[in-house]
């Protein structure tokens, strides 16, 4: 119900028809208690004279974090907290993750053959999955604030990372994020026309578009991915979708920076090794990490598997 940045929050909209001591206000998230782009919702609730507020979940934002609930109670308002709390968090898991960690929630999306190959040995991969699976992937893009790929994917595929959702005209834009390495980004890359965020281990000269964020690791030759995610979090990127390639996906997985995975398993068998989904090595079975499979569904002829890493 929030109309957008700088506009009325849901509490104010809900009370626009009038409220008083005999009214109960139900809110999914704790009312804000600080001045941001709008005045505090707590002040609006008190001004309206609402007698009771039911809160689904307290707000983990450092600027709130119980202060809204405390302010209401101190003013004599009856407040109940924790009603359907898990369901409330499930409505917007990226927000809660971002506020608790300072980093976006990272979703890894991979399209694979049924025997686990990301691409053929000549790096061709269009199209591994069906049209239905690709449409579902575009819905994932539409739900994300940004889409991350490695510079290798930019060089090999020159993607645009557009969002195309069938039967929808109002599709929000998602900002591209490029993780650069030692090799240059091609100056003709189409993504440079979309004002990408470029995470780089060193300053880049002559880039014709985008914003460069320098986040080197200790070697100075690669991007420090944990620091890079913190930078994206500071830019209010809440949900980040990672689409490629295998080196980037493997590096994020190795550093425990993947929060959710979506695998599209095509109804195709590669029949041999091509390009593995995750860069790196698999030296022994003990190196495999357990995950929790949250959901398995048919998407056209293919399978969609959602998982989360186990702690």
The yes-or-no verdict on residue 169 having pLDDT over 60 is: no
Bigger pLDDT: 177 vs 121: 177
Bigger pLDDT: 13 vs 242: 242
Give DSSP secondary structure letters for 10-42. Answer: HHHHHTTT---TT-EEEEEEPPP-S-SSS--HH
Q: Which residues pair with 260 in a beta bridge?
A: 107
pLDDT digits (tens, 9 = 90+) for 137-153: 999 999 999 999 999 99
| Confidence (pTM) | 0.88
Task: Please indicate whether residue 80 is annotated as part of the active site.
Answer: no
pLDDT digits (tens, 9 = 90+) for 253-275: 999 999 999 999 999 988 888 88
Query: Residue 222's pLDDT is what?
Result: 93
Unique residue bearing structure tokens 């007698």: 51
Phi/psi for 276 (5° steps) reads: -70, 155
Query: Residue 9's pLDDT is what?
Result: 85
> Which position among 11, 80, 89, 236 bears the catalytic label?
11
The radius of gyration computed from the CA coordinates of the chain, to the nearest angstrom, equals 22
pLDDT digits (tens, 9 = 90+) for 53-96: 999 999 998 888 899 999 999 999 999 999 999 999 999 999 99
The yes-or-no verdict on residue 208 having pLDDT over 90 is: no
**Does residue 228 contact residue 213 with C-beta atoms inside 8 Å?**
yes
Beta strands 260-265 and 302-309 are antiparallel
């Amino acid at each position: 119900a929030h109309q957008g940045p700088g506009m009325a929050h849901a509490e104010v909209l809900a009370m626009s028809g009038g409220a008083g001591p005999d009214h109960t206000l139900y809110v999914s998230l704790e009312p804000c208690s600080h001045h941001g782009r709008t005045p505090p919702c707590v002040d609006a609730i008190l001004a309206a004279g609402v007698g009771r507020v039911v809160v689904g979940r307290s707000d983990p934002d450092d600027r709130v974090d119980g202060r809204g609930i405390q302010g209401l109670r101190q003013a004599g308002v009856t407040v109940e907290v924790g009603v359907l709390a898990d369901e409330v968090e499930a409505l917007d898991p990226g927000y809660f993750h971002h506020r608790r960690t300072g980093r976006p929630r990272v979703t890894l999306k991979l399209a694979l053959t049924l025997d686990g190959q990301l691409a053929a040995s000549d790096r061709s991969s269009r199209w591994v999955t069906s049209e239905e699976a690709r449409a579902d992937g575009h819905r994932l893009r539409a739900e994300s604030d940004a889409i991350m790929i490695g510079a290798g994917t930019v060089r090999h595929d020159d993607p645009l990372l557009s969002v195309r959702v069938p039967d929808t005209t109002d599709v929000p834009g998602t900002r591209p994020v490029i993780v650069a390495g030692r090799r240059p980004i091609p100056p003709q890359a189409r993504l440079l026309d979309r004002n990408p965020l470029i995470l780089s281990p060193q300053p880049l000269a002559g880039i014709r578009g985008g914003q460069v964020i320098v986040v080197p690791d200790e070697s100075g030759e690669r991007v420090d991915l944990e620091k890079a995610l913190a930078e994206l979090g500071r830019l209010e990127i809440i949900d980040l979708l990672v689409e490629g390639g295998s080196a980037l996906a493997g590096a994020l997985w190795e550093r425990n920076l993947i929060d959710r995975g979506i695998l599209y398993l095509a109804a195709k068998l590669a029949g041999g090794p091509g390009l593995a989904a995750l860069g790196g090595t698999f030296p022994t079975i003990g190196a495999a990490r357990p995950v929790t499979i949250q959901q398995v569904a048919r998407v056209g002829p293919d399978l969609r598997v959602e998982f989360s890493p186990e702690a």
